[in-house]
Chain A
């Protein structure tokens, strides 16, 4: 542990604790559950738990919506007053209608195309080339963040393991990690754009350039939490375990799979969870600036439209971005918990 990463460890773990603590408090998580059997007035405890678990968040949301509805109309922009919750919900419905209309147009397009092909006036079948709907943009964003996240994990975990096992290697890469970690995605973007444009030269590449650019920017910005946590987790493995391994004369692969990985897995998953959060935030910024398809582009395009519905549509997108970020975090939290339970068992 006498490594340079040691100084980062408290920060990262503290953050992790803080991250998990809030949702637990909100949903009346484990501490309350554990305390419940000890209290005699079971019903009262359950009521208190319900109040804390359900009522408080619902009240909070309603208070927020009320404040929003009251304050928004008072802010006057050149696109009209700031939309309240109702207008935003309306635009949500409108976006859904657009999606349905686009599905109909798509079906029509394919039907007409099939007819043309059957009649022999068209030789090649095309994919529908209509404008992407909001839902399409959501899926594009999810796909991009998934690819970026997988790439980040594939890079970060092996490097992190190596850094945790070898203080020498750790010392070598530590300054680089410290310098690269705080770099904003917006700074990476021009470089990545130029490099990817120069590398992918095929006229019809398997993955669209814009997709690769966004995914690589996400990877560059999101690999650090995983890398650092993996290194810390690997370095903090119990020395006794390593000694046992030495006595048993385990090979390095066996040592890795039997001792190192199991004990560092919870750290790795915590790192991955932080990485995914960072990746999602970075992705929206990258899409906005680079005009790569996805939610970020949707927001920017609407801003450029400057129509009377634009603000409401942007706000709807903001809410969806938040919800997806929350869901991704929840999924990773589940995986993380599963990993640590496995290790304890």
Chain B
């Protein structure tokens, strides 16, 4: 029905354009038609104006929704459709198969696709969508078991951050009863998997290793992790299949709202200002349509700036847009609970969390090589990368996937237009330098991935391999 309408529209417009062109032929001095031709060549620079992007129903897809709803895509001459996807696998296949021109992606997805873990494909990440934005939630049952022993602050609330070591007795009691302690994350190469593993390992619990080729990752595990799509997390927790999960918003706040679980730690507390989702697309798309790529990056950067503008004054409007059923679709209050500078841990324990979702500040959009390398060190740490590699291998792979050159080309054109301040574009070689802010106090330097791996207590060391029976080698 609407398609037919569209076609007739198109026909009408073609006729209109034709008449304008004819008029232009008739008299050279016709000013409007001259302008039309000039504008046509400017907009014509975008090779593929009709685009379809995929996303998962998480609040950190906000830059895409805002770019569309606030007209930033349209400003760049793009006509974008946003389509929710069932899970990360479907989304990845959509991008690789060409049904989607780009997507809100897990940072690990383009990296894993490029190094050939899972589906092999040449994907790139020219832009980082946000910092932080995840949390780890445990079921009420587990929370009741750990809460009495937690050190309290003066106001009687548990002192944060809470170490995973508090789970040790719970896991032991599960083991005694012959039951595995299960937790959920959203995808084998997701940020959530690595954050949950980091938190557990920092607390002395082994989250298990991956054998080559498997996606279970439960060899030698104290806590068994499994994959569940984000929107189904609360339902899976409620069903008792898992005792906790690590996921993006609004699915931690949904557990609070439904009174089925308690967020125990945010990812900002596991690793301060950690890089989160990226905008991913096929490498050949960016090569074939350079102007389109630049135009979409410009639109997304503008949306990121809008989201963080003036201390978050636009956030309530953003929450309203995200609560539409075609975007995140959860209730306004649930989304607002993490998007507006606060985070609720349990009823009555709402704390300020101004940095819970950062989209633009702190150079959030710049795709740092060191971020990609951190993800690769975690892939190696847990066996997803089965063999040792030299530092150079990490640098080369990171440079193949993360493309600050594309980001800079878009961002600098925006600076030139006066759309974003010069200070918001970092001057860097792509490495953040030595970073602290991890819950276990270990520092990370992207220029020394192997040295970093050696510092981590639980995790594969040089020369170690994983087989079904355990870790071998030394």
Nearest-Cβ distance from residue A308 to partner chain B, whole angstroms: 6
CB distance A78 to B234 under 8 Å? yes
Whether a CB of chain A sits under 8 angstroms from the CB of B291 is: no
Chain B residue with Cβ nearest A124: B49
Q: Which residues of B contact A208 (CB under 8 A)?
A: 99
CB distance A197 to B98 under 8 Å? yes
Whether a CB of chain A sits under 8 angstroms from the CB of B409 is: no
CB distance B84 to A209 under 8 Å? no
User: A310 CA to B235 CA in the complex, in Å?
Assistant: 14
Whether a CB of chain A sits under 8 angstroms from the CB of B39 is: yes
User: A290 CA to B181 CA in the complex, in Å?
Assistant: 32
Neighbour of A302 across the interface among B90, B258, B325, CB < 8 A: B325
Neighbour of A117 across the interface among B6, B16, B232, B260, CB < 8 A: B16
Chain A residue with Cβ nearest B232: A304
CB distance B329 to A122 under 8 Å? no
CB distance B35 to A120 under 8 Å? yes
Neighbour of B10 across the interface among A119, A127, A303, CB < 8 A: A127
Whether a CB of chain A sits under 8 angstroms from the CB of B13 is: yes
Whether a CB of chain A sits under 8 angstroms from the CB of B443 is: no
Chain A residue with Cβ nearest B73: A129
Q: Which residues of B contact A119 (CB under 8 A)?
A: 32, 35
Chain A residue with Cβ nearest B330: A307
Q: Which of A291-321 contact B (CB under 8 A)?
A: 291, 300-308, 310, 313
CB distance B2 to A128 under 8 Å? yes
Whether a CB of chain A sits under 8 angstroms from the CB of B326 is: yes
User: A114 CA to B79 CA in the complex, in Å?
Assistant: 15
Q: Which residues of B contact A252 (CB under 8 A)?
A: none
Whether a CB of chain A sits under 8 angstroms from the CB of B36 is: yes
CB distance A304 to B84 under 8 Å? yes
Binds A, one of B40-48, B304-312, B413-421: B40-48
Neighbour of A197 across the interface among B49, B97, B328, CB < 8 A: B97
CB distance B99 to A302 under 8 Å? no
CB distance B1 to A139 under 8 Å? yes
User: A203 CA to B83 CA in the complex, in Å?
Assistant: 18
Chain B residue with Cβ nearest A127: B6
Nearest-Cβ distance from residue A133 to partner chain B, whole angstroms: 9
Neighbour of A291 across the interface among B9, B32, B85, B334, CB < 8 A: B85
Q: Which residues of B contact A136 (CB under 8 A)?
A: 1-2
Q: Which residues of A contact B44 (CB under 8 A)?
A: 123
User: A120 CA to B23 CA in the complex, in Å?
Assistant: 14
Give the interface residue-count category, chain B.
35 or more
Whether a CB of chain B sits under 8 angstroms from the CB of A126 is: yes
Whether a CB of chain B sits under 8 angstroms from the CB of A106 is: yes
CB distance A305 to B13 under 8 Å? no
Known: A78-B258, A120-B32, A291-B90. A126 touches B325 (CB 8 A): no
CB distance B36 to A120 under 8 Å? yes
User: A119 CA to B80 CA in the complex, in Å?
Assistant: 22
Q: Which residues of B contact A128 (CB under 8 A)?
A: 2, 6
Neighbour of A120 across the interface among B39, B50, B331, CB < 8 A: B39
CB distance A301 to B2 under 8 Å? no
Known: A117-B13, A122-B43, A128-B2. A306 touches B234 (CB 8 A): yes
Q: Which residues of A contact B330 (CB under 8 A)?
A: 305-307
Whether a CB of chain A sits under 8 angstroms from the CB of B122 is: no
Whether a CB of chain A sits under 8 angstroms from the CB of B14 is: yes
Whether a CB of chain A sits under 8 angstroms from the CB of B133 is: no
Whether a CB of chain B sits under 8 angstroms from the CB of A210 is: yes
User: A290 CA to B44 CA in the complex, in Å?
Assistant: 34
CB distance A304 to B57 under 8 Å? yes
Q: Which of A10-54 contact B (CB under 8 A)?
A: none
User: A139 CA to B3 CA in the complex, in Å?
Assistant: 11
Whether a CB of chain A sits under 8 angstroms from the CB of B64 is: no
Whether a CB of chain A sits under 8 angstroms from the CB of B25 is: no
Interface string of A90-128 (1 = CB under 8 A from B): 000000000000000010001001100111111111111
User: A177 CA to B77 CA in the complex, in Å?
Assistant: 52
Q: Which residues of A contact B1 (CB under 8 A)?
A: 135-136, 139
Q: Which residues of A contact B329 (CB under 8 A)?
A: 301-302, 304-307, 310
User: A313 CA to B381 CA in the complex, in Å?
Assistant: 45
User: A291 CA to B97 CA in the complex, in Å?
Assistant: 14
Whether a CB of chain A sits under 8 angstroms from the CB of B86 is: yes
Q: Which of A201-247 contact B (CB under 8 A)?
A: 201, 203-204, 208-210
Nearest-Cβ distance from residue B96 to partner chain A, whole angstroms: 9
Whether a CB of chain B sits under 8 angstroms from the CB of A131 is: yes
Q: Which residues of B contact A78 (CB under 8 A)?
A: 234-235, 238, 258, 260
CB distance B231 to A305 under 8 Å? yes
Interface size on A, residues (CB 8 A): 45
Whether a CB of chain A sits under 8 angstroms from the CB of B18 is: no
Interface string of B370-405 (1 = CB under 8 A from A): 000000000000000000000000000000000000
Nearest-Cβ distance from residue A249 to partner chain B, whole angstroms: 51
CB distance A307 to B325 under 8 Å? yes
Nearest-Cβ distance from residue A301 to partner chain B, whole angstroms: 6
- Counting chain B CB atoms within 10 Å of each CB, which of A119, A204, A210, A304 scores highest? A304
Known: A117-B13, A305-B329. A123 touches B36 (CB 8 A): yes
- Counting chain A CB atoms within 10 Å of each CB, which of B9, B232, B328 scores highest? B9
Chain A residue with Cβ nearest B82: A131
CB distance B2 to A126 under 8 Å? no
Q: Which residues of B contact A123 (CB under 8 A)?
A: 17, 36, 39-40, 43-44
Q: Which residues of B contact A126 (CB under 8 A)?
A: 49-50, 79
CB distance A303 to B231 under 8 Å? yes
Chain B residue with Cβ nearest A210: B99
Q: Which of A118-172 contact B (CB under 8 A)?
A: 118-129, 131, 135-136, 139
Interface string of A178-197 (1 = CB under 8 A from B): 00000000000000010001
Nearest-Cβ distance from residue A228 to partner chain B, whole angstroms: 34
Q: Which residues of B contact A302 (CB under 8 A)?
A: 325, 329
Whether a CB of chain A sits under 8 angstroms from the CB of B323 is: yes
Q: Which residues of A contact B3 (CB under 8 A)?
A: 127
User: A270 CA to B260 CA in the complex, in Å?
Assistant: 51
Whether a CB of chain A sits under 8 angstroms from the CB of B173 is: no
Q: Which residues of B contact A122 (CB under 8 A)?
A: 39, 43, 77
User: A120 CA to B31 CA in the complex, in Å?
Assistant: 10
User: A118 CA to B32 CA in the complex, in Å?
Assistant: 9
Whether a CB of chain A sits under 8 angstroms from the CB of B467 is: no
User: A123 CA to B40 CA in the complex, in Å?
Assistant: 5
User: A176 CA to B200 CA in the complex, in Å?
Assistant: 52
27 residue pairs of the A-B complex, CB under 8 angstroms, read A78-B258, A79-B258, A106-B5, A117-B13, A117-B17, A118-B16, A120-B38, A120-B40, A122-B39, A123-B39, A127-B3, A128-B2, A129-B50, A129-B81, A135-B1, A193-B93, A197-B99, A291-B90, A301-B57, A301-B84, A301-B325, A302-B325, A304-B86, A304-B229, A305-B231, A306-B231, A313-B325
Taking A78-B235, A302-B329, A303-B231 as known contacts, 13 extra A-B pairs with beta carbons closer than 8 A to each other, sorted by chain A number, are A78-B238, A114-B13, A121-B43, A123-B44, A125-B10, A127-B6, A127-B50, A203-B48, A290-B90, A306-B234, A306-B330, A307-B323, A310-B329
Contact surface of B with A, Cβ cutoff 8 Å: 1-3, 5-6, 9-10, 13-14, 16-17, 32-33, 35-36, 38-40, 43-44, 48-50, 57, 77, 79-86, 90, 93, 97-99, 229, 231-232, 234-235, 238, 254, 258, 260, 323-326, 328-331, 334
7 smallest A-B Cβ distances: which pairs?
A305-B329, A131-B326, A120-B36, A123-B40, A125-B13, A304-B231, A126-B79
